[in-house]
Structure 1
Amino acid sequence: MFVHKIDEHLSLKLIDLRDAERVFELTENSRDYLKEWLPWVDNTVKVEDTKAFIQSCLKGFADNNSLNAVILYKDETVGVAGYNSIDWSNKIAYIGYWLGADYQGKGIMTRVAKALTDYAFTELQLNKVEIRAAVDNQKSRSIPERLGFVEEGHIRSGEWIYVRYVDHVIYGILVDEWVK
């Protein structure tokens, strides 16, 4: 099982079905907050929906093309982060993340994204890590910016979120840039 300790208060653990109740509870408690930028929130209406998501994550992990983990902060699950996909032929990991509303502003996600980037380069031997976010999602965009990722471009109408398309900004960092 994948467990990655980041610091004394923070770690990542491969998501599994035992996490379903807590992840669903986090979604419920942060529904309005998450819904602004995440298109799956309205389709997550019962624990079984979260279990189906977790099963797809476990399949992706077993197939070696993704890694999704719960974020443990002081031994409590506070969000989900990981590699939504891993492109082994091009050696690129695509990081995705979300955090419960009550856990914002503690530097958690910046430390998580840094740890995932380190892991991609040191353990997985990848060449590039990408993070995409909606252009107007300043909180999400600040994470790769803080970590020194390069803004590589924009995707027009990159995602449909309930009633509107949002443009995406793409951030990337290469292994040789990260090492510096």
Structure 2
Amino acid sequence: MAESRWNIPHRIVTERLVLRRYQAADAEQMSRVVTASSQYLAPWMPWARAEPLPPAERAALINTLIADFDERRDFTMGIFLRDAGDYVGGTGLHTRLGAGVLEIGYWIARDQQGRGYATETVLALTRVALAFAGAERVEIHHTPDNVTSRAVPQRCGFSYDGRALTPVPGVPDAEPTDMWSATPEHLASTPFASTPRPHLFDVDGHELPWPA
């Protein structure tokens, strides 16, 4: 994968969540949460079908995610509760769709469903992608039967772009995918317009200013 031009904050703090680049110390908590949710996630997330990973493979995976983030190839993040620090899911801004476009992926642990964490995550990452990183477009893709994932772009006010056969990471053949998108114009509409901007931080913990 070629190096991208994107400059994505290492940590994004919302009202209830911290979205950040993974660290090696996250391995134990990640293993526990992913393993507990793997059967729930497996129908929709091909990577979950390989769980549980042995500790050495988990460590190698996290090291790869860190390297991809630091070298600006792809930006996978963990979702953590802001106050308690608990790991509750995964997300990211992904570069696979080409120039000018960032794709948001997300999953929430089975025992943390129904609390709005995915919506809060997508609202924050969409604003970061469009208003901080300068993306022209943000997309969300999900399998047609995944009604839980479908509800998130609906709640966030994304535009539905239809269904098509598209490549799915971890699956050898293209599969039907429902596609949603947001552009800078969406930020002027609710719920983006009524949601506070998240706080952004670099790798050293310095807060980053939003563009004027």
TM-score band w.r.t. shorter chain: 0.7 to 0.9
Identify the residue that residue 80 of structure 1 maps to in structure 2.
Answer: 90
Secondary structure, aligned partner of 1:40: helix
Identify the residue that residue 136 of structure 1 maps to in structure 2.
Answer: 145
Q: CA deviation at 1:49?
A: 2.7
Distance 2:129 2:167 in 1: 25
Match of 1:152 among 146, 156, 161: 161
Distance 2:67 2:130 in 1: 23
Residues 121 and 86 of structure 1: CA distance in aligned 2, closer, same or farther (over 3 Å): farther
Identify the residue that residue 58 of structure 1 maps to in structure 2.
Answer: 66
For structure 2, list consecutive stretches of 5 or more residues without a partner in the other structure.
Answer: 1-8, 190-212
Greater Cα radius of gyration, structure 1 or 2: 2
Bigger relative CO (Cα 8 Å, ≥ 6 apart): 2
Partners of 1:128 and 1:172 within 8 A in 2: yes
Distance 2:91 2:170 in 1: 20
Match status 1:43 vs 2:53 = no
What's the C-alpha RMSD, in Å, of the aligned pairs? 2.3
Partners of 1:159 and 1:167 within 8 A in 2: no
Distance 2:113 2:175 in 1: 22
Distance 1:38 1:118 in 2: 25
Residues 135 and 114 of structure 1: CA distance in aligned 2, closer, same or farther (over 3 Å): same
- 1:19-38 to structure 2, matched below 5 A, reads 19-38=26-45
Partners of 1:14 and 1:70 within 8 A in 2: yes
Distance 1:90 1:35 in 2: 30
What one-letter code is carried by the residue in structure 1 that aligns with 2:87?
T
- Using the aligned pairs only, state the percent identity: 24
Q: CA deviation at 1:147?
A: 0.7
Q: Deviations 1:102-123 (Å, cap 9, x if unpaired)?
A: 0000001100011000111121
Normalised to the residue count of structure 1, the TM-score between the two structures is: 0.88
Identify the residue that residue 100 of structure 1 maps to in structure 2.
Answer: 109
Normalised to the residue count of structure 2, the TM-score between the two structures is: 0.75
Q: CA deviation at 1:154?
A: 1.4
User: Relative to structure 2, which stretch is displaced further, 34-43 or 142-151?
Assistant: 34-43
